[in-house]
Amino acid sequence: MDIKSYEQAFERLEKIVEELENEQVTIDQLAEKVESASELLNYCRDKLRKTESKVNEIIDKMEQ
């Protein structure tokens, strides 16, 4: 998975969801698409957690 940003990962995830909703995915592609979606979700979740942690650190420093 060649992801460089949260936005890029989110766009790919949206595309997969759209393909699934529009039934553009064959049975042969389904497992691959679900696996990709899972990886993208994990990437986005991790990125959000790290960003939240960093923002909290900055806020804590500002309050001292």
Q: Give the pLDDT of residue 13.
A: 96
- The answer on pLDDT for 1 being more than 90 is no
Q: What pLDDT digit, counting tens, does each position of 10-59 carry?
A: 999 999 999 999 999 999 999 999 999 999 999 999 999 999 999 999 99
| Exposed e or buried b per residue across 3-17, where buried means at least 16 C-beta atoms within 10 angstroms of its C-beta | beeeeebbebbeebe
What H or E segment, with its residue span, contains residue 14? Answer: helix 6-21
